[in-house]
Amino acid sequence: MWMARVIVFLVFVTILLSIAGACLFVSLHIGERTKAPNYSPERSQLPTSQEPEPPFDQESMALLPKQVWDFEFKSDMTGYEQYICPEDTDGYITLVNTYFPLDKAYVPEDLTNIRDTRSGYDKQKIRLYAAKALEAFLNEAKAEGVTNVSVTSGYRSYSLQSYLFNQRLQQFSSLGKEGAYAAAAKIVNPPGSSEHQSGLCVDMHNLTAADVKFAATKEAQWLADNCWKFGFILRYPEDKVGVTGISFEPWHFRYVGFYHAAVMKELGMCLEEYTVHLDEIGYYKYS
């Protein structure tokens, strides 16, 4: 009789242990699936994997060649890599617009003559790294048959931007003060909010004056398709007017450096969207 009781007891204990083990297994695995990721890499580690860990769960942060020389160029790129892929990866992505204006007194310290300034124009300038990357960009453009594009505008001072904006205000004066301001701001950035003051952008085309019809040319298409390989973005795309608040400008290119230009291309984002994206994924915490 006692033997039967012992057997029943052992069976009962075995069942309890099995149930407890199963519960523990489920608990551990649910915990692994639901707990917040513990991810705090050093800045130098971003990104390193083809399958990045959270919070960097966007394909764009990993699907990229880390060297611009992964491409085949027709022109000689010797000496340009350091400018296209700056060591200071995040030093050129500052957002400049009406919400994030530059100080009235801001003037870049490294303004450099643009080699491809249009004949008959005052020599245009932009910041050093942007200027050298632009040289590489237009060297390759020429090698690809895009030989008639030149730069008509680079760095603009706060005072020059004020002058240009006031001209537009007068043009739309019939709309009233608020209406004129809104209409002018879609075409010319108000002083302080222009990327031209940053020294990181250029207007370049092959027309007598900047016009949206440039977008229909083979030259504009090549520039738009290839600018990212040299660290530039088309700053005001046609499909992002509602985000940027600026009319489509197929002639306006902004330097951000190769890495971020390539990520933005993968994501299909303009700079306004991209800076929000970087903040949301926690990128700036490690910058």
What is the C-alpha to C-alpha distance for residues 217 and 209, in angstroms, rounded to an integer?
Answer: 14
b/e for 74-91, b at 16 or more Cβ within 10 A?
A: eeebeebeebbbbeebbe
Q: Tokens for 68? A: 């611009």
Asked if residue 98 lies in contact with residue 244, where contact means CB atoms within 8 angstroms, the answer is no
79 Cβ neighbours under 8 A, 6+ residues apart: none
Question: Active-site residues: which are they?
Answer: 249
Expressed in angstroms, the distance from the first to the final Cα of the chain is 75
Tokens of 129: 């790294």
Q: For 225-278, what is each residue's pLDDT tens digit? A: 999 999 999 999 999 999 998 999 999 999 999 989 998 998 899 999 999 988
Q: Is residue 33 over pLDDT 50?
A: no
Question: What is the pLDDT at residue 67?
Answer: 52
Pick the CATH number of 53-156+195-286 from 3.40.50.720, 3.40.50.1220, 3.40.50.880, 3.30.1380.10: 3.30.1380.10
pLDDT at 69: 56
- How far apart CA 92 and CA 186 sit, in angstroms, is 24
Res. 97: pLDDT tops 90? yes
Share of the chain above pLDDT 90, in %: 64
Return the minimum-mean-pLDDT range out of 11-25, 192-206, 247-261.
Answer: 11-25
pLDDT of residue 74: 95
Res 103 pLDDT > 80:
yes
Q: How does residue 25 score in pLDDT terms, banded at 50, 70 and 90?
A: very low
**pLDDT number for residue 30:** 29
Q: Tokens 């994501």 — which residue? A: 267
Which residues belong to CATH 3.30.1380.10 in the chain?
A: 53-156+195-286
Task: Check pLDDT > 70 for residue 50.
Answer: no
pLDDT tens across 66-89, in order?
455 568 899 999 999 999 999 998
